Every structure is written in structure tokens, then in C-alpha cells.
């Protein structure tokens, strides 16, 4: 039986006009100050086959991690990872970019932003804004009642943790970009900044000094495709297509929609890559130059490079902000047997996201008594930009109860924001924590690395890195904390996604 759920999509609508005589300045003002209109759409359905069967305990599983307290905090210096187990034999990926944490010592921005690093509470508040933005796009009906949703504009929050460096323009210049599977449009800041550009590490890109830059015209079909990628209708000025995107925390980028040469490596160069050349930008982007969109829309990087990479990309997120991971496109050779695949689903309410069929959770080697229908009601996406995994309220309360029982020998302390299961590890050299695994269609396990279990404020306040949604119909989100050190492989062509242990340090 096909896996379905009933829902209502509340899609952001911009008041930006497509009038070709509208000035860019008016469009800027319109995009920033006008509220959104929302529209309802019909019930949506997932692609996919039969849900997985009821899971039993794994007798072969080692049920706990023993971790050093010193490993809970990042080192003050960068430690580069060389482990890449996605493919049999290291470094077999066609194109591999180094991934670093935006706020860690491996980032070239770290020296500038030391005084402005967000507090753990701020990180969680920003994360909640992103989650609310995503969930507002899936205002599901549960038992006949509608979920309450915020009225944010634009797409999901563009303030992810992880960044890569790519080349843009001719001659090529390198820019550090946040990569985000929850966004489609790639954009960077561009000169001249009409009103405002935030501070970034590299010099702002000047399209007039690139021999390969060109604007996309208002009447081009590519211009009209912006609406599905940004949630806002495109504008037009002097026959040039103008985009506007505003995120859940009111961060935004507005500018020209153009084409440019994108260089990932010396042998991976893409001419006429469609991207946003931001003339007015502000928000929580750190010192990065913009955002790299890895969603499923036809203007995303994945779609635009499909002919070369076949819709296949993978990443490994580092275990701490002081270590590195990778983002890879395509592959050579055979994928490691360590990686297990589950179907990658599509929800017609918002096909840009990557959907999974979560069916069960285990704690300490035992499957929790949670009906698979609990996860089917909400649906689940995997997202590189959300930090903390969000679960249906019933699933989270069951997880929390089991985890607390197995951690009863450690003193609990007060919560941090949305995290309500926190411990004081002061005085301990090591701690023993139960392993957690998520199970997807076909019984495919995703064993969470020890680094993905806790969110650490300090040793005296270490919290379980999961949270419950407020409504059973709110979309569940697999966050990046739980993806740390895993090989995560997106195979769009074959409609599958894979997980493997020990991808990076």
C-alpha cells in the first residue's frame, strides 16, 4: 500500500509584482515589508512502496557508548579528517569539497567572529525558527484539526552550520558558502550593494569584472521557475529578472537572477550556472558569501549538474566544530557495503525536500513501543540545516523516558531552551550512554554516532539532542546533529538514500 498522508500546504506568496516597469528599489521594499498570502492545496502523497515491518531488538548490537568527557567539547585547533568511506577505497568521489563548521577553528572566518559566536541558547532559538518555517509549509490536518503555523515568508532558514568553498566567475574567485539541502537557490552577495550587504570574509563578487556573467531576462522561462524555488514571485527591472528570498528569521537576499561559471574543482566547471547575484542582503550568514542550494528543485545545484553527476551527492558532517568533513558529487567505483539504503520519497506538497519513511527508534538496543503510524502521520524529512532532530510528540516522550531510565545514575540539571533532558557530568572522566538508532523503510538502521547524542552547553549542562514537536501532524525532521560522522548518500536518480558509519572524524 502506498504510504500517504493528508496535508495542507501553506506556501509563501510574495506581493512582489511582475510589472516590468517596477523599479528594483520598490521590489526591495515590497519583499521586505509586506506580509504573505497563504493558499491551500489538495491532499498530497508520497512516492514509495510498502512500509517496513515491526522491528525487534537487534541481539548483535552493542548497546552503549563509553565516551570521554574531554571529547564532548571541541578542541581549540583544527584537526583535518582524511577518512572518506563512502566508496570502496578512499577519495574515489569524482568531486570532493572540504566541509567545515561555520563557527569552528577550521573555518577561515573563525578569527573574525570569535567575539560574535552565538550562545547555545541563540543556536537553539535560530534552529527553532528554521523548524517553524519548514513546518509552516506542511500544515497537516490531524484528526480533523489544523496545526497552528507561523506566518513566515520565503523558504527554510538559510543559516546552516556547515560551509564549503567553490569558485565563481571568470577569472575564478573562491567563495565560502553555507550548503543546505533545505534550499534550492544558490546565491552570493554582489557589487554594487544597492542598499546593504552584510560583512563577509572574501571580497564581494563584482559581476562586471567577470567575462562569463550574464543576466537572465524577465521573459525567460528560467525566471518564472524562481517562484517554486523561493516561494516569491520574481520581479523585473530593465528587462532583468529579479529574485527575492526571505528566511524564517527574517534574513533575506534580493538581487538579479543571472548565469555564471561555477567551478567545484579544476576538472568540474559548469558554464551558465543559474544563481542569485544579491544586491541587498542581511541576516545570520556569518562571514560566508552566501548559500549553496542542494534541494530538488530544477534550479538547485543538484539539478543543474545532473548530466555530470547523475543526481548523486554525499556528505559527512564532522563530529565537532574543530574537525572537517566532506561534500562530494558523483562517484567512481563501487559504493561501500557499509552503506545501507532506504527509499528516498517525494511529497507533492513540497517536492524540494528529501523525505524518508521513519518507522522505529531503538534506545540501548531495544525498540521503543511506538507505532509506525505515529511517524506516518507526520512524515519525515532529512535536512542539513536543522540542528536538533524533531520527532512527533508521542515518539519523543517515549524516547525521552527510555533514555532517562538508562541514564538514571547521572545527575539531571535544568533544561536549555527546547532541550529538556540535561545532565551534569562534572567530575566524571568517562560516561556510559545508551546507543540510539533510527530505522527506516525496509528495516534500514541509522546508528547515531556518540557525537550525535548530546548538545553541549558546558560539562555541567549536557542535553539529549532531540526535541518533540508540539503537534502530531508537524513534520518530523532528521537534523544535522544526528548525522555527524555518517556517510549520507543521496541517490536522486535511483530514489534512495544511504547511511554508513565512520565517514569522517
Active site residues: 180, 383
Sign of CA pseudo-dihedral 146, 149, 153, 157: negative
Q: Are the C-beta atoms of 341 and 495 separated by less than 8 Å? A: no
> What stretches of 26-106 adopt beta strand conformation (E)?
44-45, 64-68, 95-101
First CA to last CA distance, the chain: 40
Q: Nearest-CA neighbor of 99 among 495, 480, 439?
A: 480
Cell numbers at 438, concatenated: 533510527
The CA distance from 476 to 358, in Å, is: 9
DSSP letter string, 3-48 = -EE-------B------TT--HHHHHHHHHHPPPB------EEB--
Angle in degrees, CA 486, 266, 270, rounded to 5: 85
DSSP 254-278: EEEEEEEEEEEETTEEEEEEEEEEE
Which cell numbers hold the place of 26?
Answer: 520598490
Distance CA 162, CA 483 (A): 12
- Report residue 280 as a C-alpha cell: 541587498
Residue written as cell 567575462? 211
As a whole number of angstroms, the distance between CA 376 and CA 51 comes to 9
Q: Is the peptide bond before 192 cis (omega within 30 degrees of 0)?
A: yes
The answer to whether 355 touches 346, Cβ cutoff 8 Å, is yes
Name the β-bridge partners of 341.
498
Amino acid at each position: 500500500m502506498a504510504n500517504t498522508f493528508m496535508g495542507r500546504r501553506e506556501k509563501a506568496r510574495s506581493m512582489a509584482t511582475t510589472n516590468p516597469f517596477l523599479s528594483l528599489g520598490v521590489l526591495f521594499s515590497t519583499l521586505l515589508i509586506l506580509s504573505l498570502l497563504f493558499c491551500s492545496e489538495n491532499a498530497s502523497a508520497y512516492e514509495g512502496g510498502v512500509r517496513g515491518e515491526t522491528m525487534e531488538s537487534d541481539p548483535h548490537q552493542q548497546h552503549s557508548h563509553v565516551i570521554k568527557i574531554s571529547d564532548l567539547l571541541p578542541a581549540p585547533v583544527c584537526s583535518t579528517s582524511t577518512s572518506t568511506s563512502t566508496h570502496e577505497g578512499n577519495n574515489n568521489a569524482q568531486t570532493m569539497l572540504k566541509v567545515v563548521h561555520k563557527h569552528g577553528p577550521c573555518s577561515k572566518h573563525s578569527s573574525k567572529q570569535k567575539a560574535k559566536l552565538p550562545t547555545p541558547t541563540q543556536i537553539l532559538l535560530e534552529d527553532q525558527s528554521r523548524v517553524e518555517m519548514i513546518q509552516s509549509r506542511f500544515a497537516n490536518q490531524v484528526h480533523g484539526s489544523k496545526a497552528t503555523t507561523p506566518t513566515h515568508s520565503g523558504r527554510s532558514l538559510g543559516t546552516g552550520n556547515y560551509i564549503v568553498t567553490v569558485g565563481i566567475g571568470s577569472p575564478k574567485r573562491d567563495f565560502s558558502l553555507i550548503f543546505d539541502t533545505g534550499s534550492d537557490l544558490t546565491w552570493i552577495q554582489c557589487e554594487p550593494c544597492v542598499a546593504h550587504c552584510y560583512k563577509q570574509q572574501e571580497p564581494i563578487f563584482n559581476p562586471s569584472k567577470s567575462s562569463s556573467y550574464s543576466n537572465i531576462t524577465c521573459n525567460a522561462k528560467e525566471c518564472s521557475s524562481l517562484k517554486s524555488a523561493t516561494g516569491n514571485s520574481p520581479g523585473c527591472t530593465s528587462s532583468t529578472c529579479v529574485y527575492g528570498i526571505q528566511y524564517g528569521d527574517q534574513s533575506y537576499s534580493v538581487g538579479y537572477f543571472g548565469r555564471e561559471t561555477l567551478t567545484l574543482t579544476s576538472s568540474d566547471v559548469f558554464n551558465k550556472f543559474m544563481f542569485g547575484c544579491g544586491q541587498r542582503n542581511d541576516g545570520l550568514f556569518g562571514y560566508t558569501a552566501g548559500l549553496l542550494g542542494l534541494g530538488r528543485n530544477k534550479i538547485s545545484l543538484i539539478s543543474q549538474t545532473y548530466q555530470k553527476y547523475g543526481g548523486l551527492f554525499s556528505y559527512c558532517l564532522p563530529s565537532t566544530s574543530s574537525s572537517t568533513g566532506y561534500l562530494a558529487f558523483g562517484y567512481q567505483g563501487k559504493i561501500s557495503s557499509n552503506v545501507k539504503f532506504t527509499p528516498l520519497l517525494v511529497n507533492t506538497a513540497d517536492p524540494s525536500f528529501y523525505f524518508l519513511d521513519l518507522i522505529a527508534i531503538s534506545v540501548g538496543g531495544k525498540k521503543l513501543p511506538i507505532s509506525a503510524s505515529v511517524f506516518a502521520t507526520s512524515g519525515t524529512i532529512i535536512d542539513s540545516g536543522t540542528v536538533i532532530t524533531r520527532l512527533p510528540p508521542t515518539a519523543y516522550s517515549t524516547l525521552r523516558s527510555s533514555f532517562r531510565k538508562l541514564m538514571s545514575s547521572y545527575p539531571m540539571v535544568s533544561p536549555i531552551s527546547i532541550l529538556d533532558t540535561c545532565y551534569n557530568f562534572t567530575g566524571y572522566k568517562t560516561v556510559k550512554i545508551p546507543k540510539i538508532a533510527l530505522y527506516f523503510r525496509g528495516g534500514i538502521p541509522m546508528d547515531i554516532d556518540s557525537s550525535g547524542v548530546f548538545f553541549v552547553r558546558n560539562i555541567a549542562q549536557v542535553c539529549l539532542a532531540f526535541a518533540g514537536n508540539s503537534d502530531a501532524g508537524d513534520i518530523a525532521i532528521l537534523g544535522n546533529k544526528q548525522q555527524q560522522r555518517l556517510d549520507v548518500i543521496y541517490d536522486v536518480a535511483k530514489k534512495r538514500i544511504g547511511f554508513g558509519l565512520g565517514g569522517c572524524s
